[in-house]
A and B are shown apart, each in its own frame.
Chain A
């Protein structure tokens, strides 16, 4: 018997850096015990992260595959495991296994196209991997527009990276459009919800749109994109459902006949529209 296939047995990951990114989101850098990158992935893929005794859950890998040194998770505090994760300090060991699921088709469908990346809140995490991958291979893609919104300025994830890197004058044809839900002091940018902002900005439709955020944002942004002329074949999103195994066997993350952990998490909107509305 082949005992080497370790479907459900994780490996040890060492958290080398924990950064408080927003009031309820922290960023975790993870390497293997050997100090090297523990998992090779493509943008959009996920990994199971666990604190033994507390729980295990699926998180998207927010770092770009082009980062050779470590992987990163961007984790919002919202349940038992994430509460614990928010308490750990650098040097703590956790367990990781993966990568799981499909990835955004960055090398296929996306190549050669203009990209419109739309995210809300912690939903920036999976698409940040896409953004940095495309920035790394800048000449493979056309214009990159990023629309990102959150509740407040403080709730914008990766704010420093957005300002210092993505919005840097040296970036070639990358356009970041930030918005927050409500007026606040020290914010002179756009105020309003993401779906409306997308419509206001009024993009031309010769591009691929990538959506990630809370379900309500996805719903209205999708409607908005269709209104301005996008077809479902041009829109990609990534789903999140409860997962335990990560390999399409434990049976809980299905939407119709598709398992989000195995057939997803990335779906093109026309594929998703064929599935029952149960996600």
Chain B
């Protein structure tokens, strides 16, 4: 797959159709992937990679290139195309400046799961078929891929690409998923338990803003939390409860726009399951307004910005969703 992608990228560069390619490159370790811009065939030959560690969603990385007068090629995995579609719908990205190639994804490996299992001194990780072989200074271990896959991939919602100029590989399908199971577990808790759960999780937040900055739905040029004029600008709040509100407010702001790409949880250095906040909103929107998936097609009307006579009355909230 990687070789096919490299070949196609070089062709498009050579033909002048695009002048730069947004892809991934390997960093210091096998699992260490950086989004990168390639402008020459040599750079692609040297550094371009696509493997089971290429987790970063590249859709937001197109931002800084959309004002160029030449096209940018970007490779998008199925779930990344939902983010792109949503951004195009919201006019946050200039579709005409991009050449999108949809690529298949067979689930990404979460190195944190391997580390959490006690593996350290990792010298190499290779993923072949269902096996993930980890070679470390302290011994080797082989995992079954499904055991070390990212949570968002285990709950994969779709192998289908919602936006592209061309596809590499076969088009996939929207998947049946159990992604709301954890939401149901949270809903089954008493309000006090749930409050404690979130207070505990969010207490680890260091307010690094990685979730916000990585989020393809967070596309404001100046975030309210950074803007002194907003009156609520903060780096860390004076008390810990205020602090938690950052995540709640962010979840509200992306409600109905979040495609559940899972970047927020992937980038969190403190392993806070932030995607659960967004999934709760998605699940509620589905329940109140009918099934809706953000980023499914360009121009779709999101339930929260649309009115139909069937919409639930606002008092549904006071009634606890009943």
Contacts and interface: CB of A to CB of B under 8 A. Distances in A.
Interface of A: 55, 80
A55 B231 CA distance: 12
A243 to B, nearest CB: 15
3 contacts: A55-B228, A80-B228, A80-B229
Interface of B: 228-229
A245 to B, nearest CB: 15
B237 to A, nearest CB: 15
Contacts of A55: 228
A15 to B, nearest CB: 23
Nearest to B229: A80
Contacts of B228: 55, 80
A56 to B, nearest CB: 13
A226 B228 CA distance: 40
Contacts of B229: 80
Nearest to A79: B228
Nearest to A55: B228
B238 to A, nearest CB: 12
A80 B227 CA distance: 11
Nearest to B231: A80
A55 B228 CA distance: 10
B111 to A, nearest CB: 32
A168 to B, nearest CB: 43
B232 to A, nearest CB: 13
A80 B231 CA distance: 11
Nearest to A80: B228
Nearest to B228: A80
A77 to B, nearest CB: 15
B65 to A, nearest CB: 25
A80 to B, nearest CB: 6
A172 B225 CA distance: 55
Contacts of A80: 228-229
A80 B228 CA distance: 8
In order of increasing CB-CB distance, the 3 nearest A-B pairs are A80-B228, A80-B229, A55-B228
B133 to A, nearest CB: 44
A83 to B, nearest CB: 11
A80 B233 CA distance: 13
A249 B80 CA distance: 42
A152 B229 CA distance: 30
B226 to A, nearest CB: 14
Nearest to A81: B228
A55 B229 CA distance: 12
A279 B168 CA distance: 48
A215 B59 CA distance: 38
A80 B229 CA distance: 8
A4 B190 CA distance: 50
A252 to B, nearest CB: 12
A84 to B, nearest CB: 12
A175 B228 CA distance: 43
